[in-house]
Amino acid sequence: MGNFHLEFGRFHLDLGSRACIMGVLNVTPDSFSDGGRFDTYETAVAQGMRLAEQGADILDIGGESTRPFSKPVSEQEEIDRVIPVIQTLAGKISIPISIDTVKSGVAKAALDAGAAMINDISAFEQDSAMADLAAGYQAPVVLMHMKGTPETMQVNPDYDDLMQEITGYLAARAAFAVSRGIPGQHIILDPGIGFGKTVHHNLVLINSLEKLQALGFPLLMGPSRKSFIQNILNKNSPDKIKKDPEKIEIGTLAAVGACLSAGAHIVRVHDVARAVTFARVFDAIRNA
């Protein structure tokens, strides 16, 4: 697995020998895994502080749900949800804040409020102005593969060659980003676990990360609390497991370990405390 050094503003991240933990903060009433828990200013700020204290290396804040079959919200609503939270947290925590959005207007407001990175699940396809914005602000970007949109992506996703399609797509989107002035060392790629993929697709994807490593960019994986974990547990249990948070967190850690073993540099998780504990032991064994 290649090592990368990411420098931007007052932040720097060494990616490779040490697993980088991105903590998720959904300021939404309807996210897939924690909808409504942190949808007020007070609860969101408290959770952001908590994730930073637990050892997150990056805090990823989003104001629009991307769960399967979700509908988009307006730019203004998204801004109203996330900007007050970012403004407050940027002055209280020492780790970089990433804005999880597909809208350049939201991203600009977030960067002006103190965010330092952009996480775009559409890889600049929904709003090409996002690339110029990132270049102008010298902000690192996460470019993700998704088949369809959150509203349509889980309707019978099909691939002729899963890894060839994902690799080709991400290579093209990275080339587009570079063509718009984003330096290659500011690009992170995410193959999009759960975004237009079946359970089998997700498992093959994790096992085939070396094909994406060949592109020469850091890799981010987001397996946390995804439905494929629940589906695996249901399939292998005599009794259908209701949404058991404890079992899903254990399953998430198994997926995190598989992703790191396969070459992921950054893992995006909801339960930062567990992931940090897991990752530090994993790192020690890997680097011995």
Contact 1, 219 (CB under 8 A): no
The residue from 18, 225, 226, 242 that is catalytic is 226
What does the buried/exposed string (b/e) look like for 94-104 if buried means 16 or more CB atoms within 10 Å of the residue's CB?
ebbbbbbbbbb
Catalytic residue, chosen from 268, 274, 280, 286, is: 268
d(CA 43, CA 34): 12
Give the closest residue to 269 by CA, choosing from 59, 31, 35: 59
Q: How far apart are CA 43 and CA 33, in angstroms?
A: 16
Instruction: Please state at what angle helix 227-235 crosses helix 199-207, rounded to 10 degrees.
Output: 110
Q: Is the dihedral angle over the CA atoms 222, 228, 230, 235 positive or is it negative?
A: negative
268 belongs to the catalytic site:
yes
The catalytic residues are: 226, 268
